[in-house]
Structure 1
C-alpha cells in the first residue's frame, strides 16, 4: 500500500557514523560495475574491456565544449570567420552553462589534467547523489528504500551520470536543494538551487520550486517568514543563471550570447509545441545519423532505437510519480516538504525539454528526474520490483547506444 506506515525492514536500526555511507557507496560501486560491463559488451575490437576506464570513453560531443570552458573560458564568433566552408551561423561554447566546467577547473588546480578532473567531478557528484538520496530516504535500510536505491543505480539515462557532462553535478545540486527544504534550511536550499541553475538550463526549475515552497515548506514559521525564505532562496538560486550570463558577457560583450547561439546554430528559441517536440524526439533517426561501422555486438544491434523505449519509460516514470503523490494526498491529506519539492521538480524536468526544444538531448536532461525517487520510496513492492526490472533493461540499452557512439 502506498504510504504504508510499517515498511518491511531488512535492518532494524538506523545507520550511524560512517556506516550510514555504506549503502550509497555500494550503490556507486555497483553503478560503475554495471556500466563497465555494458561498455565492455558494446565496443567491438581489442581493448574494449578498458574503454570505460579511459577518459575518451566518457567523452561525447558536448563534453568538448565543457572542457573548453574549463580550459579557456567562453568564446563566440561567426563560423565563417574561421571556417570558410561553414554555414554563416554563430559558433562558440556559449550554449553551455558554467557550473560543471568551473568545478572541473577548480579540481584541475590540484595538478590533474582537465579530462581526469572532469571524471573526478562526475564520479564524486554521483557518489554525492546516492548519499543525499539515502538521507532523503531516511537512511534506514528497508525493502522500500533498498529497492529505491537499486532503481537509482540503473535510472533511465543514468549513463550520463558517468560521462563528462553536468548531469550528475546538476542532479546532486537539485537533491541538495530538496534536502535543504526538508531540513528547513533555506541557505542549503538556495545553495543547491544556485548550483543546479548554473549547471544546466533544466536546473533553473529549482527557482520555481523554491518560490512555491512558501506553500509547503518552512511550516514552523509565520507566513511572512515563509514567504521571505521562499523568495530569498529562489532569488539566490536564480543568481546561478545571472552568473552564467555575466561570465558570457565578460567573454563576449553580449548579454544575449546564449540566446544568440541557440537561435542561430540550433534553431532553439521561443516556446515549442510540446507534443510536436515529443514526436520529433521519438522519431529522431539516431541509427541513420550515425551507425558504427563493421560487425556490431549483439547489445548494440538491439539498442540503436532504444531512445524510443526510453521516452515511454520516462513518461511512465513521470506519471508514476504524479500518481503516487495524488494517492498520498487522497489517503493522507498531505505530502512532506521534500515530497512536494520532488514532485514539482520531476514534473518540470519532464516537461521543460519539450517546451524548449531538445530532440537530441532530452534523454540526458530527463535523467535529472532522478529526484522523483524521493516519492518512489512510497510505492508498494509489487510496483517497485517491475520498475527496477524495466529500468535495468533500458539502462543497458541506452548505455549501449552511448558507448557505441550513437548518442550525443
Structure 2
C-alpha cells in the first residue's frame, strides 16, 4: 500500500500533537490534585486558573496599551512610587489583542495564544529533532511535556510564545534562513527581557552558522540578524513612549518600583532566589491537599534541577566534541541559549521569576536527544516529579 504525501505529512505532525495533549493532561492532573473541593478541574480549564500577578499587566496592555503614573494618584495608601504596566514587553499582549479581534474575550484569547505557541514549540522541536520517531526523540519529547517550569507554558504569560520564538530562531540558523532567524530573534526580544539571549545567539552565530558563506558574509549576516532582533526592544520602547511620553519608562519603573535595572552578582542572586519564603508569604488558608502541602518550597529543588540540567547539557556537548563528533548548527545554538537563559535571570535580578524564565531552556532539548537513554530516563523521572511540585505551587496560588 502506497502512502500518500499528505498522509505522510499528517503522520509527521502526530508526535508533537500527542506531546501537546499529554502536556495538557499532565498539567490538568496536577491542577486537579492541587485544589480541594469540586472546583479542582476548573482551576485548569478556566481562564482564571491560568492567571497570576503579571498576567493582569499583560491583559491590561492588550486591552488599552501602556500607562505609567504615580501610585498615590490612584491609591491613597500606596507608597509614592511609580505604577503602571510599562515593566512588561508588548509581544505577547499584541498577539492577544490580534486574536481577540476574532470576538474572543482577552482572557480566552490569551489562553489560545499560549496553547497555540506551545503546540508550535513541540512542532518546531520535532523538526529540529529530525522528525523521526526513535527511543531518543520520543524520550526527548516526553521530557518536554514535563519540562522544569513548564506549567507557565499553559499560563497567561509570554513564556510559551517567547520560547517558540527562540526555537524558530534556532530553526532559521539550522536552515540557513537569515529571515527566519532574524524574525524569531525579534519576536523573542519583543516578548520578554530574557529574549535578549537571541541577540547574543545571533551575534555569535558567525562562529558556527552560515557555513556555506565566506567569513565576511557570515559575520555580516550575524551582525544584521542581531540588529534586527534588537529592534524588538526599540519597538517596545516606542510603544511605551507613545503612551507615556518617556523613552525611559521601562527603566524608570524597574528601578523605582522593583529595585531592578542594574547588573547583579549571579551567585549571590541565586542564594537570594533560593531563600524567597513563598511558604510564608502566600500559603493558602484552610486544609491543604497533600500535593500542595509538600510543594510549598518546590522552587528550591527547582533551582537544583535547573542547574543540574544546564550542567548536563554542557557535559553532553563536551563529550560529543571530545569524541570528535561535530555539533550541528542547531546544537551549537541550543548550547549558547541554555547557558544564556540560565544566567540572565540571576544577572538581571529576577529573584521572584527565575523559575518561569528558566523554562525557556526548553530549547536545550535539541541536545537532550544526543544523551544516552540511561541519562534521559532518570532526567524524565526527575522532571516529572518536579513538574508536579512546582505546578502545585502555581495552582494553589503560592507562586507569582
The match for 2:269 among 263, 277, 286 is 277
**TM-score calculated relative to the size of structure 2:** 0.97
Aligned pairs for 1:135-150 (under 5 A) are: 135-150=127-142
Map of 2:256 onto structure 1: 264
2:125 counterpart (129, 133, 143): 133
Q: Count the aligned residue pairs.
A: 394
Q: Using the TM superposition, give the Cα deviation of residue 272 of structure 1 relative to its aligned residue in structure 2, in angstroms.
A: 0.7
Residue among 100, 106, 111 paired with 2:98: 106
Q: Secondary structure at the match of 2:41?
A: helix
Tell me, in whole angstroms, the C-alpha distance in 1 between the residues paired with 2:108 and 2:140.
30
Render the CA deviation track for 1:250-291: whole Å, top value 9, x for unaligned: 111111111100001100121111111100110100010011
Does 2:378 align with 1:400? Answer: no
Task: Find the counterpart in structure 2 of residue 84 from structure 1.
Answer: 76
Counterpart-to-counterpart distance in 1, 2:325 and 2:101: 51
Q: Any residues of structure 2 matched to 1:255-334 within 5 Å, and which? A: 255-332=247-324, 334=326
1:205 matches 2:211: no
- Return 5+ residue gaps in structure 1 as ranges: 1-14
Which string of whole-angstrom CA distances, capped at 9 and with x for unpartnered residues, describes residues 332-352 of structure 1?
253111111100011000000
The Cα of 1:45 is off from its aligned counterpart by 2.0
Which secondary structure does the structure 2 equivalent of 1:210 belong to?
Answer: helix
Q: Distance in 2 between matches of 1:318 and 1:195?
A: 24
Aligned to 1:93: 85
Q: Which residue of 348, 360, 367 corresponds with 2:352?
A: 360
RMSD: 0.8
Distance in 1 (alpha carbons) for counterparts of 2:130 and 2:210: 19
1:345 aligns with 2:343: no
- Do structure 1's residue 122 and structure 2's residue 114 form an aligned pair? yes
Task: Tell me whether 1:21 sits opposite 2:13 in the alignment.
Answer: yes
What is the CA–CA distance in structure 2 between the aligned matches of 1:340 and 1:175, rounded to whole Å? 13
Which of 157, 165, 175 is equivalent to 1:173? 165
- Counterpart secondary structure, 2:83: strand
Name the counterpart of 2:37.
Answer: 45
The one-character-per-residue Cα deviations of 1:79-122 (angstroms, maximum 9, x if unpaired) are 11111111011000000000000000000000000000000000
Residue 91 of structure 1 aligns to a residue whose secondary structure is strand
TM-score, normalised by the number of residues in structure 1: 0.96
Q: How far 1:27 moved relative to its partner?
A: 0.3
Say whether residues 1:70 and 2:62 are aligned partners: yes
Q: Distance in 2 between matches of 1:333 and 1:393?
A: 33
Shift of 1:50: 2.3
- In the other structure, the counterpart of 1:9 is none
Counterpart-to-counterpart distance in 1, 2:328 and 2:214: 18
Inter-partner Cα distance in structure 1 for 2:348 and 2:39: 40
- Aligned residue for 1:332, secondary structure, equals coil
| Residues 153-162 or 76-85, more deviating | 76-85
Give the structure 1 partner of residue 217 of structure 2: 225
State the 1:211 CA deviation.
Answer: 0.8
Q: Provide the rounded CA distance (Å) in 2 between the counterparts of 1:194 and 1:302.
A: 40
User: Which residue matches 2:4?
Assistant: none
Cα separation, 2, equivalents of 1:27 and 1:346? 22
The Cα of 1:406 is off from its aligned counterpart by 0.1
Number of the residue aligned with 2:3? none
Which 5+ residue runs of structure 2 have no aligned equivalent?
A: 1-6
